[in-house]
Amino acid sequence: MTHLITSDRRSLGVSFPTANQANVVVWAPLAIHVAIKIYGNPAAIPLKKEELGYWRLTTSQIRPNDLYTFILNGQQEYSDPISLCQPQGVHGPSQAIDTASFRWEDQSWVNPPLEKYLLYEIHTGTFTPEGTFQSLESKLDYLKALGINAIEIMPVAQFSDTRDWGYDGVYTFAVQNSYGGANALQHLINACHFRGIAVVLDVVYNHFGPEGSYVSEFGPYLTDKYHTPWGKAINFYDAWCDGIRHYVLENALMWFRDFHVDALRLDAVYAFKDFSPVHILQELRQQVDLLMEITGRQHHLLVECDLNDPRFIDPLTRQGYGMNAQWMDEFHHSLRVAIGEEKTGYYADFDGLANLAKSYRDGYVYDGQFSTVRKKFFGRKADIDSGQKFIVFSQNHDQVGNRKQGERSSQLYSYNALKLLAGAVLVSPYIPLLFMGEEWGETNPFFYFVSYSKPELIDAVRQGRQEEFATSHPDEKVADPQTEETYKEAKLQWNLLEQSPHQSLLWYYQTLIALRQQLPALYHLDRQQIDVIDDPEKETLTIHRWHEDQHVLCLMNFAKQPQSIPLQIVGDEHTLWQKLLDSADPQWQLHPKLETSTAPEFVSGSETIRLQAESFILYAQNHEKSRFHLPDPISPRLYLS
C-alpha cells in the first residue's frame, strides 16, 4: 500500500499539479461507477477505475474554488471524503482548493528539539471572542511574552456547524470553515514560525463524528469486527483496510508538508484496533521519517495513550511504534489527588503524594501493579532515560471539560494551590503543557459543547451526558452541550489580565517559565538525574535535579498548614543554595501582610526549611539570582484589543 503514497505531493482527493490540470483520486472499492459533478458544468465526468479500489481522473475542467460532489453508481451524490474545504458545512458540496498556492515565509524556521517544547493547549473557538485563526494570531505576541514556544491546537477537521471541541470532525482533511479554513490556518502557522513558536495539531484517527460523515458510502472505512467507545472501529486491520490506512497516512503527511505543522498529537491511540505485522503507528513513523529525509525539516509525533505500554514510545529499532512522546495522565491524576481531589472514578487508583513521587521518577505510576479501577495487573516499566517521552500537565481540555461542572483548577483549589500546581508541572523532568487561561486563573468553565441539527442526535448527546454524571453530585445540573450559552460561557475572559489576583498569577507563571528555560538542571530532561523524597505524613515533596555542576532543589508543601522540611538532598555540600522563587513571597500573595514566607534567602544542606501552606520553593546551586534574566511583566492592555 505504501507505494501509493508520494511524499512530495498529495495522492488523494483533488489536487493541482499544474496550473491547468487537476488530479482527482477517490477510494471507493465497492462502487460500480464513480463520477464527479462540478458545479456550473452541464454533466458529470466519469472517473476510471484502477487497482485496489481507486478511481482516477485527470482533467482541466475543475479549477481552484470550484464546488463539486461525487456521484456513486449513477445515483447518490456525496461530498468528497478527502475534501479540503466545506464552505457550506458538513452536508454541503466540497470546494477544490490549492494549498500549494500559499506563499510561505518560514524558510529559516527550525523546529525546536522536542525536549525544548513548552506546550500551550488552545481551543480555537473559545480562545478569543471571535473564535478564529486570525484572532488567535493576534494573541501570539502575548504567548511569546509568557514564554510559550509551542502551541497545541485542538482538532480543526470540519465538524457540524460552528460549536464543537473538534473531536467529532467528519472531514479529516478539511479545515473548519468557521475558524477561517485552510488558508487562514497556513497564515497562522506562518506567523507562529515568524515568532519562534512551533505548532502542534491535534488529529483524530480513532473515529468519525456522528453528523455529516459519509465515508462509509465510499468504502469500508469502519469495521464491525471491533468496537471503540465511539462505535465501530476504524478499519485498520479488516478486509479492505489498506484504503483507510492510506487515508490516515496521507492526512498526516499533508499537515506536515502542506501546512508546515511541526508536530501531530494523535487522539486516543489506545482505540486503534490494529493487529497487522506493521502497526499503523509504525507505518506512520516510517512515512514521516521518509518525508523528513526529503524536506530536511523535523516533525514530531505525540500520542494520547493510557495503556502504560512503552511500546508506543519505544523506537522502531526496539520494535516499538516510534512515537516521540505521550500525554501522561497518571502524573495529572497523582498531582490532583495530592492537592485534594476526591478519590472517585479513575482517581480511586491513586494515593496522591507517593504516586506523584513515583511518576517523577518513573513516568508511569502503574508499571505492573494491580489496578483496583481496571481490576487487573496493569502497565509495564518504561525503560528510558529521557524525560522528553512524557508530556505532563495539571489540567487540559479532557480533565476540565469532562467534569460535571467543567471547573478549571481556579474553581476547585485555593489561589496558593494554583501556584503549587504550576510549580509541580514546570520543575518536572518532562515536557510541560499548560491549558489556555490557566496562567491567569481563568474562572469560566470549559464545558463539553456541540452543535448538531438532528433532534434524535441532540437528545442522545444530552442523555449521554446526564447518564455519565448520574452518580456524581446528582443535585447539580449538567450544562446542555447543545446550547450556544454553554459554548459562550467557555470562552476566555481576557479582561481578567488587568484584575487582581489574575495579574499576579500571570507574572508568577512568567517567572516560573523563565526559570525552567534558564536553569540547565530544569531544561535538561534527564530522568537519571533526579532524586525525590515524599513525606506522606507531612504532605511534602522534595525534588533534587541536577545537570553537571548545576543543581536545583524544589520544595513542595501540599498540606493546608505550614510544614518544616529538613534538607536531605544536597549537591555540593560546601556550596550554599540560593532561593530563586518562593510562591509564599509577598509579591505573589493575595494578602501580602497576612501570608509571608519565612524561608531564608540562602541555606545549606543541613538546615530545616519552613514552608507555608500549599506552597512551592525553588533553590539553586551554581546559578546565582543575578544570572537569572527576569522577563518584563506582561502588559495586559497590549493584548486586550
- H-helix segments, 319-383: 329-339, 353-362
Considering the candidates 121, 242, 304, 582, report the single residue annotated as catalytic.
304
Q: Is 55 helix (H, G, I), strand (E, B) or coil?
A: strand
Q: Rg of the chain over CA atoms, in angstroms? A: 26
- 340 grid coordinates: 485534594
Q: At what angle do helices 241-259 and 181-194 cross, to 10 degrees?
A: 50
The secondary structure of 392-432, three-state, reads ECCCCHHHHHCCCCCCCHHHHCCHHHHHHHHHHHHCCCCEE
Whose grid coordinates read 508536530?
Answer: 263
The secondary structure of 491-552, three-state, reads CCCHHHHHCCCHHHHHHHHHHHHHHHHHCHHHHCCECCCEEEEEECCCCEEEEEEEECCEEE
- 239-245-249 Cα angle (round to 5): 175
Considering the candidates 137, 267, 283, 438, report the single residue annotated as catalytic.
267
Distance CA 146, CA 634 (A): 7
Q: Is 267 a catalytic residue?
A: yes
Distance CA 221, CA 236 (A): 8
Contact call for residues 519 and 552 (beta carbons, < 8 A): yes
Q: How far is CA 483 from CA 101, 164, 238, 266, 506, in A?
A: 38, 11, 39, 28, 31
Distance CA 32, CA 641 (A): 56
Whose grid coordinates read 525539516?
Answer: 297
The Cβ of residue 307 has, within 10 Å, a number of other Cβ atoms equal to 14
One DSSP character per residue, 289-333 reads HHHHHHH----EEEE---S--GGGTS-GGGTS---SEEE-HHHHH
Indicate the pairing of strand 54-59 with strand 48-49.
antiparallel
What sign does the CA torsion over 232, 236, 241, 246 have? positive
What sign does the CA torsion over 481, 485, 491, 496 have? negative
Q: Is 8 a catalytic residue?
A: no
Distance CA 31, CA 47 (A): 11
> Which amino acids are annotated catalytic?
267, 304
